[in-house]
Amino acid sequence: MNPIPLQANITAVTADLIVVNLFEGVAQPGGATGAVDKALGGRIAELIALGDCTGKLGATTLIHTFGALPAPRVLVVGLGDRQRFDLQAVRVAAAKAIAAARQAGARHVATIVHGAGVGGLDPQAAAQAVVEASILENYAMPRQGNRPRSDSRVETLTVVEFSAAQLPAVAEGVRIGRIIAESAVMARDLIATPANIATPTYLAESAQRMAAEVGLRCTVLERDDAAALGMGIFLAVAKGSDEPPKFVILEHNADRADELPTIVLAGKGITFDTGGFSLKVNAAGETMWRMKYDMTGAADVFAVLRAAALLDLPLHVVGLTPLCENMISGHAQRPGDVYRGMTGKTVEVISTDAEGRMILADALAFAGRYRPQAVVDLATLTGAIGVALGPKAAGLFCNDERLQERLLAAAAATGERLWPMPLYDDYAEDIRSDVADVKNSALPVKNAGVSTSAKFLEYFTEGYPWAHIDLANMAWADPGRPLYPKGATAFGVRLLVQFLRDWRP
């Protein structure tokens, strides 16, 4: 989708479909919607009176103009209760409008900026929200088959602003929204690509190409490099696969690392997860075909670094992504094995299906080299987080109150919700090993699995402020919801970009 800002009266815009809006409880539309209603001879007001156009959040009404306007169709989308109206309502309205436009077969859509007028929202923020939601809702997963797509997608989105004075702010919002949403789309494509294609090598090469395009420094550590660094815990997971592991390091503003705050993001990159000898069962939430998505954390980190570069954020941002498969073979790790990481700490393997925390252990140890102001890791780590929260919010574990506040503020601003989870010292007792420093899974495994996994990760942090985001319950939408069509969501990209944009020393 190509979003274009335009200063104009929406009634004069030529497109396949124009989008206006309506608050719930409004009997006589005003503003841009009122202008369209007048051009249509009061048809919108008539539909309101009939109860066919309610203004409920996300509700849409399609009206044919029959030559009364340059556009053949008008879509009225509800903004909901005026008292509860915010940027998330803008996103939902914009997403629902694009879904309805696609259903109508529209290729060129023109929309007003929901909330930038009587809604009282900042025009730049509102335009950004409209564009992000529109691009994300317009998404369709990549196909590998020969059959053509049966669904249409919007190709052009004209973002219309009546006020010439507000157009620069709207244009900037369009620019920012496009960068962030297209970065998330890149991550979605990687996550949705089958694991026989999206191998560690494929992902590393994708990161290298993206880095060259946007000006990031990219370093790829091979198996021997990781071994020389002592990353024995990461390499233990990779042992069972014929696919070579990769450890990708992306850096934004690498040449200014000494003068800018350093933030490290670490993403779990298991390109396919069988569970190893602790084989996954075909039960609810553990369907193995979906385990191609187990590198969501890594794909999200790629996307956030891309956005950081294109937005030219005044930070030194480092992305660390250990990439490998978790497979079964004569070389694979076994329950009961013990492995040593790069800081000398050892892990007893209780479950080979608790592999994500193992590869992140060495990534978190490596993060200490950058003397960061903060480290955030994100991973599809546990099924337990879905039991706790459902598909409503990702789990947040944090050892620093200020860092937690920053992340929760970014979550509130973007609508990518986080819920703080406990990181009590007691959980350390549950992962204490008799033969190693820690074990990678508590027994019985159903007890506090989400918090003990986070406690395991904390053990490998190196004295910096740290947060862990478990997004296993949010990484795949089925069924879809506004902004997140069925499939890979890239949840966390918008959240972390906002977190970086808001960073102040």
- List, by residue number, the catalytic residues: 280, 357
Cα 429 from Cα 426, distance rounded (Å): 6
Retrieve residue 39's tokens: 């051009």
Integer-rounded Cα radius of gyration of the chain: 24
Cα 472 from Cα 299, distance rounded (Å): 14
Retrieve residue 123's tokens: 């025009």
> Which SS3 state, helix, strand or coil, does residue 174 take?
helix
What is the secondary structure of 291-303 as a DSSP string?
GGGGGHHHHHHHH
In the sheet that 73-80 helps form, which strands lie side by side, from edge to edge?
A: 2-7, 156-161, 108-112, 17-23, 73-80, 60-64
Taking each helix axis from N to C end, the angle separating 356-367 and 449-459, rounded to the nearest 10 degrees, works out to 30
Task: Please enumerate in sequence order all residues whose Cβ is within 8 A of that of 205, keeping only pairs 6 or more positions apart, or say none.
Answer: none
Retrieve residue 468's tokens: 């862990």
Cα 110 from Cα 242, distance rounded (Å): 50
| Backbone φ, ψ for residue 94 (5° rounding) | -65, -40
